[in-house]
Structure 1
């Protein structure tokens, strides 16, 4: 016990010395420019009212699911929701998971096997990396969005080949060159698994995702969509064929060995999808993104992005931390991204724009950025 406690203390001390110690923070009164609530659904009074109206239709609902989907936690409502989600995203089937992390762990740990190859983008999400480690497949990493680097790794691949990408990357909001990756995948008989977490609700017809926007559904083996970002609720789903759905039910341990999400959570997902198909949510977000770009001085080094994620390069941990602190002192909740999370010299302010940000708030943020950067 003593040795373990010493290890814990030393590890935390090392993080603290490197100024990279993570701590939990409660909500603040600052203007939100850091959350993933791109469409403002999580705080939407209208969506909340729709949800409360729907709950009344199910007076006998249980607070908990009482078990895994394979035991007591499955019901008609959940399976009908999966069919609706699949239909909306132009997919043969979908399977719900408790989170995007669980979905990525589930598919990457169970589908690729020892002797297979997974080729991951350099900036792929940690949940995919963890799933890949559990798979025992050989893993290669290609330079972010670099097609030549990807092809080099494809030439080395053995067994069944999987390419792991995000369609919109969570750190910088930039997009994968999806059509070109599909061409390479088909040339080398590889299958693509694409995480659409930051594209769902933002890109495509009524928020169906970037793969929908480009008409590439039939060229992708599996899509991971999450509900905790633009949809404002919680959970995730894997989109794919009926066979893939059945495979995951049988082999994805993060699906098999966990208590299912409760009815109230699934109802919230259903209502959010209904709300997504009404109004002008996407055009409102586009207006805010365009305003931000137009008000920002040209000398500021920004990463090109059509998404709600706008990254501004501020080299040096001390400098970017100081800039974020000055913004927070002015009432804006903006967070710094430090090295080694990003390469040294590429530290940045990660700014998320939302429909709940007023045009005046965005203008004021840009004015402050123009003054301090």
Structure 2
């Protein structure tokens, strides 16, 4: 059966703009594209320990069997949520099936009619989708511009205002001044929500994230942590007060009306967090985190050496982005780099604003300095 004409036209428009998305196959190229920052997703010890954990606790069960409010609330949920609360110094934690589910569930249920949401203009699509489902009014502020936010807060003067941003932005790799942001929200009595998806496992001793590294965890109304990036697993959690958790259990539809994560998914999360904690009894960072930051510093030094730094967005994270305007151009350069053995992905509009298309380099603990040097030398041949 053919698509309705309006849907077919939308596809044709995407094709004409060189923005049509396609599913690709897993490649054997050198990985500069995945979110597996620490290499945990392919860590054999984590894989084997997750299996041993399940069999040791007689958890011989493939699926959750239902939602957590029906039959799927198996004992591992309480165990993992307790671990998350202790590790992230939060009163409570509530696990969702993904970061997308967590953000949609939170923002569609917590802000009420008559409330106001202020969000960074570059905020993640999952948060935007949650906001669209909310009955609250929402306004964007300029990216990482706390002066713009402060002016809006003073102008709006509303009883209940939620402010949301990311500690590391997925499409830019940059970060707001979280300490100053927290102070601005305090002064204006606004509720601050931080998405830590690309910071957990990367920043702070033992990968605790930027919020805790700065000692701000008690000033944040809610934090989102995900397991599908540096932790190499699947799922997410919202950290906050016991009352917030109780509220979400009762009103977050993406939590209530979905089958829960399987025991195996949670066992993997448990073992991955143990990898960060147990292997570092002196509370120092995991060796993979240290290697990742060494690679980030080396990558940035190589940018300067190859005179590429002026076309990259300033970032101290594992995400380094090279601005190359135009969907067709950036996709062509990405294809050429891939043909030389390096998996570097183009980020095209409308995912990013038109004219801000880019190559996104995701760095990992397992990337070698030789690979970094070679891929940047190759990039220079196309953009300089």
User: What band does the TM-score fall into relative to the shorter chain?
Assistant: over 0.9
Distance 1:249 1:174 in 2: 33
Distance 2:254 2:351 in 1: 27
- Per-residue deviation at 1:330? 0.6
> Match for residue 253 of structure 1?
253
When structure 1 is superposed on structure 2, of 110-119 and 171-180 the one drifting more is 171-180
- Does residue 31 (structure 1) correspond to residue 30 (structure 2)? The answer is yes
Asked if structure 2 preserves the Cα contact closer than 8 Å seen for 1:140 and 1:153, the reply is: no
1:349 to 337, 352, 359: 359
Asked if structure 1 preserves the Cα contact closer than 8 Å seen for 2:18 and 2:328, the reply is: no
When structure 1 is superposed on structure 2, of 89-98 and 46-55 the one drifting more is 46-55
Matches within 5 A, 1:1-373: 5-154=4-153, 155-156=155-156, 158-277=158-277, 278=279, 279-296=286-303, 297-300=306-309, 301-373=311-383
- Per-residue deviation at 1:147? 1.1
Unaligned runs of 5+ in 1: none
Distance 2:214 2:350 in 1: 34
Q: TM-score, normalised by structure 2?
A: 0.93
Where 1:141 maps in the other structure, the secondary structure is: strand
Asked if structure 2 preserves the Cα contact closer than 8 Å seen for 1:30 and 1:332, the reply is: yes
**C-alpha deviations, 1:254-284, integer Å up to 9, x for none?**
1111111111111110001011222412111
Where 2:163 maps in the other structure, the secondary structure is: strand
**C-alpha deviations, 1:335-360, integer Å up to 9, x for none?**
11223432333221100011122222
**C-alpha deviations, 1:89-122, integer Å up to 9, x for none?**
0101000000001110111111100100000000
Where 2:57 maps in the other structure, the secondary structure is: coil
Where 1:56 maps in the other structure, the secondary structure is: helix
> Cα 1:187–1:254, aligned 2, differ >3 Å: closer, same or farther?
same
Distance 1:45 1:367 in 2: 33
- Per-residue deviation at 1:371? 2.5
**C-alpha deviations, 1:41-61, integer Å up to 9, x for none?**
001122222223323313442
Where 1:368 maps in the other structure, the secondary structure is: helix
When structure 1 is superposed on structure 2, of 313-322 and 282-291 the one drifting more is 313-322
Distance 1:339 1:311 in 2: 14
Please tell me the root mean square deviation across aligned C-alpha atoms, in Å: 1.5
Distance 2:367 2:232 in 1: 15
Q: How many residues align?
A: 372
- Per-residue deviation at 1:370? 2.5
Asked if structure 1 preserves the Cα contact closer than 8 Å seen for 2:19 and 2:327, the reply is: no
- Per-residue deviation at 1:157? 5.1
Asked if structure 2 preserves the Cα contact closer than 8 Å seen for 1:205 and 1:212, the reply is: no
Where 2:7 maps in the other structure, the secondary structure is: helix
Distance 1:118 1:340 in 2: 23
Asked if structure 2 preserves the Cα contact closer than 8 Å seen for 1:117 and 1:157, the reply is: no
- Per-residue deviation at 1:145? 0.2
Asked if structure 1 preserves the Cα contact closer than 8 Å seen for 2:37 and 2:363, the reply is: yes
- Per-residue deviation at 1:199? 0.3
- Per-residue deviation at 1:253? 0.9
